[in-house]
Amino acid sequence: HEVRPAVRSSAQVLVASNRGPVSYTLETDGSLDAKRGGGGLVSGLSAVEDKLWVCAALGDGDREAVRRGVGEPGVRMLDIDAGVHADAYNGIANSVLWFVHHMLYQTPLEPVFDAEFRRQWASFESYNRAFAEALAEEAGQGAAVLVQDYHLALVPGMLRELRPDLRIGHFSHTPWAPVDYFRLLPDDIAEQLLHGILGADRAAFLTRRWADAFIGCCTRILGGTGRTRIGVHGLGADAGFLRRRAHEADVDERMAALREQTGPGRRTIVRVDRTELSKNIVRGLFAYRELLDERPEWRERVVHVAFAYPSRQDLAVYRDYTAEVRRVADEINAVHGTEGWTPVVLHVKDDFARSLAAYRLADVALVNPIRDGMNLVAKEIPVVSDHGCALVLSREAGAYEELGSDAVVVNPYDVSATAAALHEALTMADDERAERTERLAAAAVALPPQQWFLDQLDALRREA
């Protein structure tokens, strides 16, 4: 049977994503505290009129907001059953799809596609269906709908059936797995995912490499990409916002505090990530440890400032990873630390102003993900750096395609090579570091978020 929901509104541009632009916390006095998020999509969409953002209620605060009818204009939060959402988000999206695209599985224990997986997959389908139905209700005739990321891979196909008049785009913010890895998935699931995205008029990616991998999967598994166009839009840093925000008083205060912590005259190696397995934080710490072991001249002269902000802590594997990051940092401090020198300054509590402070004072930025769709930290640091910053960059980050020529490039699995790259970055001559930072910053802002979004919208309207 086919459901054809009544068209309720007339939005001309719709965005759909799991995480929305605002989240609510239920305070002890019963009030709801709204927190607005940042990110490329938020600033990208700010230039667009007549828009609606459809997202999921992610916690108790969000659900309470939906029940009380509290919300922001232009945002519709879907109160999907908490169990269904947990299966779809934690179970399928973050434990399966994220792992496939970032190639994070470790045999012999993973992956296992069993009855429990099938049960979660059914939730993933109904979660995607809830989005497709809401979008079908809200979209005006012929509207453009931009569906975001792996969480919503089935939405384009479902939405096309409900509303063939719409122009539908899908954007992947992650890498796309090479076909031999993608085929770990059960055959019917792999096909369903590809067909889901191919329900869009346009499927877009952050780099050519991820787009080619997607085309490779479609070609081998389905025989082609059908009528769907494939696009590449490499999201850049928001220079205006970052430069302004990085010079506000709270950032200056945190810079002073960080300088105090690192000690006068010492070099700093900075990293800022979610505590995310794909970010490769532990191997980064191993590389730093090897630098201190093998090149004792750096002892007392350098500090590794590592910000690893909590992420996806409902999943045991993420909690374990966070604990491992802490353990290795503590161990380095125990082995190498002296009375006046703490080799690793690790912070796990999210603080954007402090991140910007670290960006400004970094001598070296360490961005060494195993795989990463883009990695905006690699782009943001050169933009706000006070005195130039050498970038150690994984060749497996999407940002490598644009920044590789001015970075010190590493294979993220190669700890010794990463240690050597840190040494090279630390010893880079001041003028060379400054010149490279300038070129990195120019490349990093080539496609600012608003343009990135408008380009996609234009292409969708033109090509569809």
Residues that bind ligand G6P (CB under 6 A): 19, 149, 173-174, 311-312
Q: Which residue is nearest to ligand G6P (CB)?
A: 173
Complex with ligand G6P: residue 19 or 195, whichever CB lies closer: 19
Closer Cβ to ligand G6P, 121 or 318, answer by number: 318
| Shortest distance, position 425 Cβ to ligand G6P, whole Å | 25
| Calpha distance 347→335 (Å, rounded) | 19
The smaller minimum CB distance to ligand G6P, of residues 149 and 402, is found at: 149
- Give the CA-trace dihedral at 233, 237, 239, 242, to 10 degrees: 150
Measured from the CB atom, is 80 or 425 closer to ligand G6P?
80
In the bound state with ligand G6P, the residue whose beta carbon lies nearer, of 160 and 371, is 371
Q: To the nearest whole angstrom, how small is the minimum distance from the Cβ of residue 19 to ligand G6P?
A: 4
Best CA proximity match to 192, nearest among 92, 304, 309: 92
* Residue among 444, 450, 305, 451 nearest 376 (CA): 444
Nearest CB to ligand G6P, comparing residues 172 and 262: 172
Query: In the complex, what is the shortest distance from the CB of residue 213 to ligand G6P, in angstroms, rounded to a whole number?
Result: 16
Residue 118 CB coordination number (10 Å): 11
Is the CB of 174 or the CB of 262 nearer to ligand G6P? Answer: 174
Considering the complex, state which of residue 277 and residue 287 has its C-beta at the smaller distance from ligand G6P: 277
Give least dist CB 403 to ligand G6P, A.
18
Smallest gap from Cβ 276 to ligand G6P, in A, equals 8
Q: How far is the CB of 325 from ligand G6P (least distance, A)?
A: 17
Given the complex with ligand G6P, which of 312 and 436 has the nearer CB atom?
312
CB-CB contact of 272 with 319 (8 Å):
no
CB 372 to ligand G6P: min, Å: 9
> Whole-number minimum distance, CB 136 to ligand G6P, in Å?
22
Smallest separation, CB 177 to ligand G6P (Å):
14
Q: How far is the CB of 205 from ligand G6P (least distance, A)?
A: 12
**Minimum Å distance from CB 438 to ligand G6P?**
27
3-state secondary structure the chain: CCCCCCCCCCEEEEEEECCCCEEEEECCCCCEEEEECCCHHHHHHCCCCCEEEEEECCCHHHHHHHHHCCCCCCEEEECCCHHHHHHHHHHHHHHHHHHHHCCCCCCCCCCCCCHHHHHHHHHHHHHHHHHHHHHHHHEEEEEEEEEECHHHCCHHHHHHHHCCCCEEEEECCCCCCCHHHHCCCCHHHHHHHHHHHHCCCEEEECCHHHHHHHHHHHHHHHCCCCCCEEEECCCCCCHHHHHHHCCCHHHHHHHHHHHHHHCCCCEEEEEEEECCHHHCHHHHHHHHHHHHHHCHHHCCCEEEEEEEECCCCCCHHHHHHHHHHHHHHHHHHHHHCECCECCEEEECCCCHHHHHHHHHHCCEEEECCCCECCCCHHHHHHHHCCCCCEEEEECCECCHHHHHHHCEEECCCCHHHHHHHHHHHHCCCHHHHHHHHHHHHHHHCCCCHHHHHHHHHHHHHHHC
Q: Measured from the CB atom, is 174 or 322 closer to ligand G6P?
A: 174
Strand partners, 273: 308
Least CB distance to ligand G6P at residue 449 (A): 14
Output the CA angle 55-235-93, nearest 5 degrees. 40
Residue closer to ligand G6P, measured from CB, 53 or 298:
53
Q: In angstroms, rounded to a whole number, what is the distance separating the alpha carbons of residues 58 and 54?
A: 12
- Please, which residue, 149 or 238, has the CB nearer to ligand G6P? 149
